[in-house]
Amino acid sequence: MPDYEPVYIISDSPAKKSVVFGFDAYAKTVADLIANKNNKTPLVIGIYGPWGSGKTTLMETVKGFLEDNDYTDKKTYRKCRTVWFQAWKYDKEDEILAALIEEIFKTMKRDGFLEACKAEIEALIEKTKPFKALGNLAKSITGIDLPEVFSELEYKSKLGFYITFQEFFDRLLWAYTNLRPKWTSSEEPDDSKGALVVFIDDLDRCPRSRILKVLETIKLFMDKKGCIFVIGAANEIIENALKDKDAYSDEDAKRFMDKIVQVTFNLPRIPLEEFEYYIKDIDPASVEKIKPHLWNIVTTTQNNPRRFKRFLNDLSLMEGLHKNKQTGVDATSLLFWKIIEFESPKLVEEAKENSEIFNILIEIIGDISVKDPNTGSWEIPADKIQAITQKSLQPYLEDRRLVEFIRNIKIPAEQVRQLISLSSIVKSTETALEEDKRIRQKLERRIDYKLGEMVEIPAGDFLYGDEKETVNIAEAFEIDIYPVTNSQFEHFIKEGGYEKEEYWDKEGWAWRQEEKITQPMYWNDEKWNQSEHPVVGVTYYEAKAYARWAGKVLPTEQQWEHAARGADGREYPWGDKFDETRCNSDESGIGRTSKVTRYPNGISPAGCYDMAGNVSGWTNSIYDESEGRVVLRGGSWNNQSDRCRCAFRSWDGPGDRSSDVGFRCARTLTL
């Protein structure tokens, strides 16, 4: 039986006492603050930090310290009873207070306190006969579901319920925190003897409306001695929730939080050496392997403990897969690929769709990156980036960190394909949304949304059609690098493109009015309306209107073909032999449109994408005058290879709408 590589995985469960990342020192400080009998209550402490920064670990560690007997043996400390409350588990906003009280009751029951107070509770039941629900609540020692009881009450009944319940609950809290199973109305609560500490974890996981409800619930306890709340959340999410739906202004939201929270503890940025200590503690054998690259790993995972642990787990699993499958991919390349997965998830997703994207980047970076003599880092000069034909790759080449990481992957193309293939099994939990937004904003700053990205096609002769006759293009022109996308077409709609007659020719405007068209045919269909996919379900009339709105025209079929095949009469944009890995045709098996940037390995000599496959494109040429049909060029996801040739001509009626027809625009340089 063959030997297999064992895989070591780190648990993500928070520890009650944590000695990693310096959390034990932080927790001891917060626990001392809570247990110190000279600190008056009620008190609310905010533990603030982003997702994965260790809020839950810190709070669990604080809770563990408070439950330790050491805190009962010292004269300066009060006895602390702890409750763990997760508000995000409750679906209905009006259940929050009831659920919190029930959680307190459950804690009392586990401690045996409710059984000790049985006589007092039975006396309360007798006293409050008009409130059947309160009687049922008081019987919670038998396991009543308080949120269910409370949700059955009408609004007025709820008010009466809590007015009647208030005195009982106050006295119950007093007795519980003061370690007194019996109470008298003449005694005042003494918070120096004991306190009830309620930990509210992951408050920022709640819907915004529920966050507000939890905070308002906490306010109800602000007059109760002996109550301490510890809230774990990302502070900016809480303040945004307060400002949502105009509940509070920016200033009032901050004032509200300042009033509720008396002490804030912002989790500090964890220093690099703490991560090294952490690795030594959990897996000493991996220290030498990880240490040379630790700075890159920590910065890529944003000094975030949870992301850091997930990085190590993913890397361990990847190493096991590659060793057991004997791919030959070395450990350093695996490590930097995992860094790239965390650093640039959008690039990884695109590489999974077409692995040649990554191979092209490796080749480009190897050819044109230069080393900065001062810093020793690698980068690509701006002029060389602008000269790159594959325009969709420019944002990645502008990222210096990414260039450095890619340079460290030194494996042949076939191993890159295996690396990408296996990474689909070990799927990173990170999202590409933020990076996608960042790249999109970078492109929008650089490119006018109407103009888009265009490439110049020089005037001159080229070989045209199946017969490869010499045809002369008299004027240089520009043509869109990509088919018009749904994202671009959305601007046309929002700026009134369907309502303004000046964008339409006479026939198109008559068609639009008669058909009452206000958007493309598949505009609301998730299968076809993804932002970076080409817009489809548009007629020749709509394509012409968009082009006029953008200050362009539809290309003639000769212009289109010159941009698609260059001057040498090639069969496909990339050469004479069909290659299904270079375009979205029927052979690819995708069965729908794809991102317009998916095939940088299938671009034309001029640098145009999707000149073969994805969508056929409307041109400004008539197929036959008698029928009025319009020429389509390029073939689509629905066509086989023969129809994706540069010289292939097809047609549609000007009012036809199809899921495999889109368009791109052109303009002469004299416009």
SS3 578: coil
Cα–Cα distance for residue pair 419/583, rounded to 1 Å: 22
Cα–Cα distance for residue pair 6/66, rounded to 1 Å: 39
Write down the pLDDT at residue 432. 41
The two tokens of residue 214 are 């939890």
The answer to which of 221-225, 401-405, 559-563 has the lowest mean pLDDT is 221-225
pLDDT digits (tens, 9 = 90+) for 540-574: 999 999 999 999 999 999 999 999 999 999 999 99
Please give the residue that has the higher pLDDT: either 529 or 193: 529
Domain assignment of residue 37, yes or no: no
Write down the pLDDT at residue 120. 62
Residue 280 and residue 260 share a domain? no
CA dihedral 119, 124, 125, 128 (to 10 degrees): 170
Residue 337 and residue 459 share a domain? no
Write down the pLDDT at residue 670. 63
Query: Is the separation of the CB atoms in 96 and 213 below 8 Å?
Result: yes
pLDDT digits (tens, 9 = 90+) for 129-179: 444 444 444 444 434 444 444 454 444 444 454 555 566 667 777 777 776
SS3 265: strand
* AA letter at 337: W
Assess whether pLDDT exceeds 60 at residue 360.
yes
SS3 69: helix
User: Which is it for the CA torsion 113, 118, 120, 124, positive or negative?
Assistant: positive
Q: Specify which residues 631 forms β-bridges with.
A: 651
Residue 262 and residue 151 share a domain? yes
**Half-sphere CA count of 18, side-chain side, radius 13 A:** 26
The two tokens of residue 152 are 């059955």
Residue 644 and residue 563 share a domain? yes
Domain assignment of residue 19, yes or no: no
Q: Specify which residues 79 forms β-bridges with.
A: 194
- Domain-ending residue, one of 224, 247, 266: 266
Report the mean per-residue pLDDT for the chain. 82
- Domain-ending residue, one of 446, 469, 503: 446
Residue 658 and residue 588 share a domain? yes
- Domain-ending residue, one of 446, 466, 491: 446
Residue 551 and residue 433 share a domain? no
- 621-633: average pLDDT: 92
How far is residue 503 CA from its own chain's centroid?
38
Residue 429 and residue 559 share a domain? no
Assess whether pLDDT exceeds 90 at residue 471.
yes
Domain assignment of residue 530, yes or no: yes
Q: Which helix (H) or strand (E) holds 200?
A: strand 194-200
Assess whether pLDDT exceeds 90 at residue 535.
yes
The answer to which of 296-300, 624-628, 642-646, 663-667 has the lowest mean pLDDT is 624-628
pLDDT digits (tens, 9 = 90+) for 117-140: 666 666 655 554 444 444 444 444
Assess whether pLDDT exceeds 70 at residue 206.
yes
Counting the structural domains of the chain, the total is 3
Residue 550 and residue 529 share a domain? yes
Write down the pLDDT at residue 399. 92
Write down the pLDDT at residue 241. 72
How far is residue 286 CA from its own chain's centroid?
30
Q: How many CB atoms lie within 10 A of CB 119?
A: 10
Residue 537 and residue 418 share a domain? no
Domain assignment of residue 181, yes or no: yes
Separation in Å, CA 634 to CA 144, 332, 506, 566, 648: 69, 42, 28, 14, 7
Write down the pLDDT at residue 143. 47
Assess whether pLDDT exceeds 80 at residue 313.
yes
Separation in Å, CA 584 to CA 154, 394, 413, 594: 60, 22, 21, 7
Task: Read off the DSSP letter of residue 77.
Answer: B
pLDDT digits (tens, 9 = 90+) for 227-250: 888 988 887 777 777 766 555 666
Query: For the sheet containing 454-457, what is the strand order?
Result: 454-457, 477-480, 666-668
Identify the CATH number of the domain in which residue 560 sits: 3.90.1580.10
Residue 485 phi, psi (nearest 5): -95, 170
> Whole-model pTM above 0.85?
no
Write down the pLDDT at residue 128. 47
Please give the residue that has the higher pLDDT: either 537 or 102: 537
Domain assignment of residue 2, yes or no: no
Residue 232 phi, psi (nearest 5): -105, 120
Band of the pLDDT at 413, cuts 50, 70, 90?
A: very high
The answer to which of 90-104, 212-226, 319-333 has the lowest mean pLDDT is 90-104
Assess whether pLDDT exceeds 80 at residue 516.
yes
Highest-scoring range by mean pLDDT, 72-76, 346-350, 575-579: 575-579
Structural domain boundaries enclosing 234? 45-266
Percent of the chain with pLDDT over 70: 79
Domain assignment of residue 18, yes or no: no
Residue 386 phi, psi (nearest 5): -65, -25
Residue 432 and residue 469 share a domain? no
Write down the pLDDT at residue 537. 98
Cα–Cα distance for residue pair 72/31, rounded to 1 Å: 13
DSSP letters for 271-331: PHHHHHHHHHHH-GGGHHHHGGGHHHHHHHTTT-HHHHHHHHHHHHHHHHHHHHHT----H
Cα–Cα distance for residue pair 259/249, rounded to 1 Å: 15
- 479-485: average pLDDT: 97
Query: Is the separation of the CB atoms in 130 and 179 below 8 Å?
Result: no
Separation in Å, CA 478 to CA 459, 489, 558: 11, 19, 13
Assess whether pLDDT exceeds 80 at residue 608.
yes
Domain assignment of residue 412, yes or no: yes
Identify the CATH number of the domain in which residue 70 sits: 3.40.50
Residue 249 and residue 155 share a domain? yes
Please give the residue that has the higher pLDDT: either 150 or 385: 385
Cα–Cα distance for residue pair 635/586, rounded to 1 Å: 10
The answer to which of 76-85, 379-388, 439-448, 583-592 has the lowest mean pLDDT is 439-448
Rounded (5°) CA angle 357-362-363: 100
The answer to which of 154-163, 253-262, 292-301, 609-618 has the lowest mean pLDDT is 154-163
Residues contacting 529, CB < 8 A, separation 6+: 486, 522, 523
Residue 442 and residue 329 share a domain? yes
